[in-house]
């Protein structure tokens, strides 16, 4: 971590490790705001982006446990705008070159096999999403309207035939709203954050955290979210989102795929709930059986076998995908020290968490550099942690 700061790769970072539910290590270094010379500390508030996805996935499974739907249910059962779906034909070069297809179901949304995509992926659909500005940013139109605009586009492929990282978890966030009758922010606050004691996690930068909110940096020129076009910059730490002007101060869209702000200890409460089989200090969120179901591989093989062409937060070889995160099937094929069954996910600003069920270990890492593919810090961190364990 110190080396990454010294080499101007990350502005600053913080890591927290638990073993058997007890804290065993914490370290913070560098700056949360280089321009103001403010340190990156344990209680620094950060954009967790796609680490929002596991929380939305938990919300969906909480509703499923109540018998309100099953995972084979098509999206159109809740969002009628997704009826009569079409998918791009194989090899299509135009957004109009489509054929009829089935509507994706909830499990396909949860596992990124729905046929949806992201604007920063390669391909016809991502280019159209980029042209129409459909990315579920915090300052976009409200979730309902953006979801309807997405539904008007064809899928990149027929559901269940490929794996592609996508806005599918944002669609699930909208389904949480429809089924529960609450907006996503209210559902998270009342049903998940309150029982967990997560008082500094929200779609808005929490009022108590505004003076601890980090700046966001990138080593790329141009828009750091346009991964297909962004190029390296001579300034490896160019600020792209100032804390006092951030779109997360007053968001208009609650993105279940990437909209939350959190702190290191707050997010560890969520990760520890997953490790504990759904148990929180304020009550049980999910059953242990549901958590085991979520953290097993839901693909036929690894992600690589499903022909992905998309950006991904994790290695694809030797890695499967559960509900809300990736699952290590074979550490040797992944090429990173770990255990079979490791469950993890990260965010675009290079944040990361993982749960090792064999070692009974949980880890949360925060920094603020986008994109997360800039440096191999996650693999290096796992190697260091495994090298430090002797029992």
CB 124 within 8 A of CB 93: yes
Residue that is written with structure tokens 């070889």 in the block: 317
User: Is the separation of the CB atoms in 109 and 173 below 8 Å?
Assistant: no
CA-to-CA distance for 130 and 147, rounded, in angstroms?
Answer: 15
Instruction: Tell me if the bond preceding 326 is cis, omega within 30° of 0.
Output: no
| Phi, psi of 46, deg, nearest 5 | -135, 155
For residue 333, CA distances in Å to 15, 112, 168, 217, 227 come to 26, 21, 27, 32, 26
User: Residue 140 and residue 202: Cα distance in Å, rounded?
Assistant: 17
What is the spatial distance between Cα 131 and Cα 134, in angstroms, rounded to a whole number? 8
Instruction: For residue 222, count other CB atoms closer than 10 A to its CB.
Output: 12
Q: Is 361 exposed, middle or buried (0-12, 13-18, 19+ CB in 10 A)?
A: buried
In 3D space, the residue among 216, 217, 199 whose CA is nearest the CA of residue 208 turns out to be 199
Active site residue 76: no
Show Cβ contacts of residue 105 under 8 Å, excluding neighbours closer than 6 positions: 71, 72, 73, 74, 75, 159
Among 50, 114, 246, 344, which one carries the catalytic annotation? 50
Q: How far apart are the first and last CA of the chain?
A: 24
By annotation, the residues acting in catalysis are 50
């Amino acid at each position: 971590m110190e080396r990454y700061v010294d080499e101007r790769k990350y502005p600053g970072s913080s890591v927290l490790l638990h073993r058997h539910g007890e804290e065993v290590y914490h370290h913070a270094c560098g700056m949360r705001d280089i321009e103001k010379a403010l340190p990156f500390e344990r209680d620094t508030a950060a954009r967790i982006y796609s680490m929002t996805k596991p929380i939305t996935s938990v919300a969906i499974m909480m509703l499923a446990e109540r018998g309100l739907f099953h995972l084979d249910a098509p999206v159109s059962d809740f969002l009628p705008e997704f009826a009569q779906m079409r998918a791009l034909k194989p090899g299509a070069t135009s957004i109009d070159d489509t054929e009829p297809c089935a509507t994706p179901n909830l499990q396909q949304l949860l596992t990124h096999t729905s046929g949806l995509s992201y604007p920063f992926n390669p391909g016809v659909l991502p280019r159209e999403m980029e042209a129409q500005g459909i990315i579920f940013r915090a300052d976009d139109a409200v979730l309902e309207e953006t979801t309807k605009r997405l539904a008007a586009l064809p899928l990149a492929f027929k559901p269940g035939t490929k794996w592609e990282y996508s806005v599918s978890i944002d669609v699930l966030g909208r389904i949480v709203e429809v089924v529960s009758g609450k907006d996503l922010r209210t559902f998270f606050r009342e049903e998940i954050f309150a029982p967990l004691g997560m008082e500094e996690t929200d779609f808005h930068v929490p009022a108590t955290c505004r003076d601890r909110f980090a700046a966001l940096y990138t080593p790329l020129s141009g828009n750091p979210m346009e991964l297909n076009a962004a190029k390296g910059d001579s300034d490896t730490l160019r600020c792209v989102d100032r804390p006092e002007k951030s779109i997360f101060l007053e968001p208009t869209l609650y993105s279940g795929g990437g909209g939350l702000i959190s702190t290191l200890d707050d997010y560890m409460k969520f990760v520890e709930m997953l490790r504990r089989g759904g148990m929180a200090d304020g009550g049980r969120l999910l059953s242990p059986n549901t958590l085991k179901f979520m953290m097993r591989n839901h693909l036929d093989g690894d992600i690589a076998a499903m022909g992905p062409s998309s950006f991904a937060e994790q290695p694809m070889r030797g890695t499967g995908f559960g509900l809300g995160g990736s699952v290590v099937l074979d550490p040797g094929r992944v090429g990173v020290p770990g255990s079979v069954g490791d469950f993890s996910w990260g965010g675009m600003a290079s944040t990361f968490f993982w749960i090792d069920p064999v070692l009974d270990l949980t880890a949360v890492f925060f920094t603020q550099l986008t994109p997360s593919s800039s440096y191999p810090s996650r693999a290096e961190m796992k190697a260091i942690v495994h090298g430090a364990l002797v029992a």
